[in-house]
């Protein structure tokens, strides 16, 4: 049920944020030594996840803003989508770091392509929303993992809008609304991966359900891939390099392989071990690489001020060293969190075509 709109305000003035460039990074952001409540963390997380869009060449104002409004209520799919629960109602799930707050939706800023973007958070019952292909059906499925800094899920910018393009290419598209927020702990000043990565559990569950229900959805169970953005890209990397399911067996769907058949990572995060120095391309200790990872396409902008170019470079080199086919498409400009909305930067209009050609190259289309 929709509730009263609640503006989210940070305890710092707007001047705290840079005007033309952003150095705010969820991975490296150090909070003051005060107790910060979840709504404040959420505001910081979403602002950081989108701050790379506040660039001079973007059509949005050259500043970083926090989300404008949040409303209690479960996110609803756009027309044509069928929202499906990931887990049986009687299965107890680990809760995100949201206390007892109900699921909440809202709109965020800065503007991307001149428009607001919308997110969901305090997600305790994750879902996948299935969009059938428009016209011909290639049998290929794309599971979409939006970003949001693990504080929220950017449902339209990096979710349903991606599906609008995917379904026009004859593919089934599935948007994952995974459990958030999940705060990453710090130890000795270094950010640590949570012991249980809730979004990874939800993503693996979605892959299993899609393979089990392949005949229902009219898809090829051997052609199910994933695309992730920012935090979602980090989840994609984990899915690609994890052969074992990360949660106890629930039902027959969990007997299916949780590994995708192809992977696309866009402006990926949380891969690089920053403690090794500025010129290092060493991955964080918990980032494991498997020779069985699927063919991977990496998309990134050189001027991404949230997750710099060394993040995908380190991942690409590690995959290559393991013998995994990996391609990179790097553009000079584009910033962070551009999704599929056209701006003055070529990456925003060209990367979908690069994905289509790559899928042809690896024999998926």
How much is the average pLDDT of 294-309?
Answer: 96
- Helix 198-212 to helix 231-240 angle, to the nearest 10 degrees? 60
Least confident residue range of 30-39, 165-174, 294-303: 30-39
Query: Does residue 9 belong to any structural domain of this protein?
Result: no
Amino acid 285: pLDDT: 87
**Three-state SS across 18-51?**
CCCCCCCCCCCCCCCCCCCCHHHHHHHHHHHHHH
Q: What is the pLDDT of residue 26?
A: 30
Encoded tokens for 326? 């990996």
Check residue 192 and give its pLDDT.
81
- pLDDT at residue 358, as a whole number: 99
Asked whether residue 116 is domain-assigned, the answer is no
Distance CA(153)–CA(121), nearest Å, equals: 6
Of 44-48, 104-108, 147-151, 191-195, least confident by mean pLDDT is: 44-48
Query: Of 57 and 337, which is predicted with more confidence?
Result: 337
Does the residue 105 lie in any domain?
A: no
18 is a domain residue: no
pLDDT tens, residue by residue, 159-170? 999 999 999 999
Q: Which range marks the domain in which residue 318 is found?
A: 80-96+122-361
Question: Does any domain span residue 154?
Answer: yes
pLDDT over threshold 60, residue 176: yes
Percent of the chain with pLDDT over 90: 67
Q: Which residue has the higher pLDDT, 303 or 59?
A: 303
Lowest mean pLDDT among 103-117, 242-256, 322-336: 103-117
pLDDT per residue as tens digits for the range 118-132: 999 999 999 999 999
- Within 10 Å of residue 340's Cβ, how many Cβ atoms? 20
CATH code assigned at 339: 3.40.50.1820
The pLDDT tens digits of the residues spanning 55-84 come to 333 333 333 454 456 688 899 999 999 999
> What pLDDT score was predicted for residue 227?
99
> Residue 68 has what pLDDT?
58
103 found inside a domain:
no
- First-to-last alpha carbon distance for the chain, in angstroms, is 42
| Number of structural domains the chain divides into | 1
Domain contains 318: yes
Residue 190 within any structural domain of the chain: yes
Calculate the average pLDDT of the chain. 83
Of 83-87, 224-228, 242-246, the least confident: 242-246
């Amino acid at each position: 049920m929709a509730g009263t709109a609640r503006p989210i305000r940070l305890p710092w003035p707007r001047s705290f944020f840079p005007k033309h460039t952003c150095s705010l990074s969820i991975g490296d952001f150090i909070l003051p030594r005060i107790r910060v409540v979840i709504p404040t963390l959420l505001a910081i997380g979403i602002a950081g996840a989108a701050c790379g869009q506040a660039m001079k060449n973007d059509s949005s104002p050259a500043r970083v803003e926090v989300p404008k409004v949040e409303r209690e209520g479960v996110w609803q799919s756009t027309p044509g989508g069928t929202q499906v629960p990931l887990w049986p109602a009687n299965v107890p799930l680990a809760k995100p770091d949201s206390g007892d707050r109900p699921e909440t939706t809202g709109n965020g800023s800065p503007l991307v392509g001149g428009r607001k973007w919308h997110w969901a958070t305090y997600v305790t019952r994750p879902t996948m929303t299935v969009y059938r292909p428009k016209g011909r059906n290639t049998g290929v499925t794309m599971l979409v993992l939006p970003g949001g800094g693990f504080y929220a899920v950017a449902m339209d910018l990096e979710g349903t809008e991606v599906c609008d393009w995917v379904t026009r290419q004859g593919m089934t598209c599935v948007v994952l609304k995974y459990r958030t927020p999940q705060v990453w702990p710090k130890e000795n000043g270094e950010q640590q991966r949570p012991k249980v990565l809730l979004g990874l559990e939800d993503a693996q569950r979605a892959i299993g359900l899609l393979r089990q229900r392949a005949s229902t959805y009219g898809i090829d169970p051997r052609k199910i891939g994933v695309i992730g953005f920012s935090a979602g890209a980090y989840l994609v990397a984990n899915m690609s390099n994890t052969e074992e399911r990360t949660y106890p067996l629930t039902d027959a769907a969990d007997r299916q392989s949780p590994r995708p058949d192809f992977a696309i990572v866009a402006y990926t995060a949380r891969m690089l071990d920053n403690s090794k120095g500025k010129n290092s391309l060493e991955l964080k200790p918990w980032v494991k690489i498997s020779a069985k990872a699927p063919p991977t396409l990496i998309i990134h902008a050189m001027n991404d001020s949230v997750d710099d170019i060394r993040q995908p470079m380190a991942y690409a080199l590690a995959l290559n060293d393991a013998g995994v086919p990996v391609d990179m498409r790097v553009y000079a400009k584009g910033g962070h969190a551009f999704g599929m909305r056209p701006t003055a930067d070529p990456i925003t209009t060209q990367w979908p075509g690069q994905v289509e050609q790559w899928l042809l190259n690896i024999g998926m289309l």
